[in-house]
Amino acid sequence: MEEQNNSGAVNPEAQSKPPAQPVPAAAPRGAVPWLKLIAGLYALSLIAAFFVINKADAARRNRPKDMDISKLTGLIQSKKDAVAVIPLYGVISQGSSSRSWENGSQQIAKRIKTLAAKKEVKAIVLDINSPGGTVGAVQEIYSAVLKARAETKKPFIARFGEVSASGGYYVAAACDQIMAHPGTITGSIGVIFSVSNFEGLMKKVGYRNEAIKSGKFKDIGSATREMTPEERKLLQGLIDDSYEQFVKAVSDGRKMSIDQVKLLADGRIYSGRQAKEIGLVDSLGDLQDAIDQAGELAKIGKNPRVLSDSDPFENLMSLVDSKLSLFGTKSVVEAIDLAPSLEYRWYGR
């Protein structure tokens, strides 16, 4: 509304007067010092950045053209170099499937191949805590180590945990060096073929089994009857052949004669310290000692960066798979596994 005087006429001064503007609120007293501090720090950072840029530019201009920068390159590269650690725990078997999160021999062999092929991996430590396993599965991992060593020329160190016997030792024989604890249980170099016999029990419960077969050896190893002398002779030949393969692997890996190995390979077990005294182990130490040794062999020094082959997704799936097995998702036959098998295995645990 326009302002009017007492006579009703419009006041010209009020008509030309601009509307009042809002007064900005004053900044809080406590905020002013903080704003000044932030501004000061920002200015200092700009000055420091300018100083560093000038120094770097001056160094670049003054560097001789023939300067050797190989040491600098080596320093940068060494930060990427690593030693890979691959665990080999429990009984060694092929596994019931090809799922990547299972620890069957095919998955372990694949990890060995994959990690050995990585440029940043300069050496590999096999962390073995196993009593051995089936002949085929053990030899699959053994062959993977030999192939990786031949193709990449990278050093492999076998580290023994509380147990590395029979097939566990077979795998280690493929490595450049073996390290164990003084109290590690190792050795048990040999082969076993276990066959159960429930014939007496089945007679008591009235169970009878009949096999219709194409040849007399087709049901060899059957748990429902006694083994014949011919079958025993045939199986002994199979075991002897697998035993000779084991002895040859140890002889090649430990640089020992066949006769020397056979003196040690009667199935007996040794402590880590005893194994070192007879030449089955190179040195005594823990996992970190093995990693340091691998770093020195790879010429990247002690306490190197460690690269694990574990994958979070695979670890999760492995955990889920193991938990589901507790609720009956695996058959009773698979859990008990009564089928006879040829094994490089120590049955002490």
How far from the centroid of its chain's Cα atoms is residue 300's Cα?
Answer: 20
CATH tag, 80-345:
3.90.226.10
Where do the domains of the chain lie?
80-345
Q: What is the pLDDT of residues 286-301, one digit of tens each?
A: 999 999 999 999 999 9
Q: Compute φ and ψ for 110, nearest 5 degrees.
A: -65, -40
Q: What is the mean pLDDT of the chain?
A: 79
Which of 164, 166, 222, 242 is an active site residue?
Answer: 166
Tokens 């004053």: give the residue: 26
The pLDDT of residue 319 is 47
In this model, does residue 84 exceed pLDDT 80?
yes
166 is known as an active-site residue: yes
Side-chain half-sphere of 87: how many Cα atoms within 13 Å?
Answer: 12
Q: What is the pLDDT of residues 28-56, one digit of tens each?
A: 555 566 667 777 777 776 676 666 666 65
Q: What is the pLDDT of residues 100-120, one digit of tens each?
A: 556 789 999 999 999 999 999
Which of 218, 248, 299, 330 is an active site residue?
Answer: 218
**pTM summary value:** 0.70
- pLDDT: which is higher, 283 or 222: 283
Which range is least confidently modeled, 145-149, 217-221, 337-341?
337-341
Of 187, 189, 178, 185, nearest to 162 by C-alpha is 185
The pLDDT of residue 341 is 76
Could you write out the DSSP letters of every residue in 162-201?
EEEETHHHHHHTTSSEEEE-TT-EEE--S-EE-----HHH
Q: Label residue 5 by pLDDT band (50, 70, 90).
A: very low
In this model, does residue 262 exceed pLDDT 60?
yes
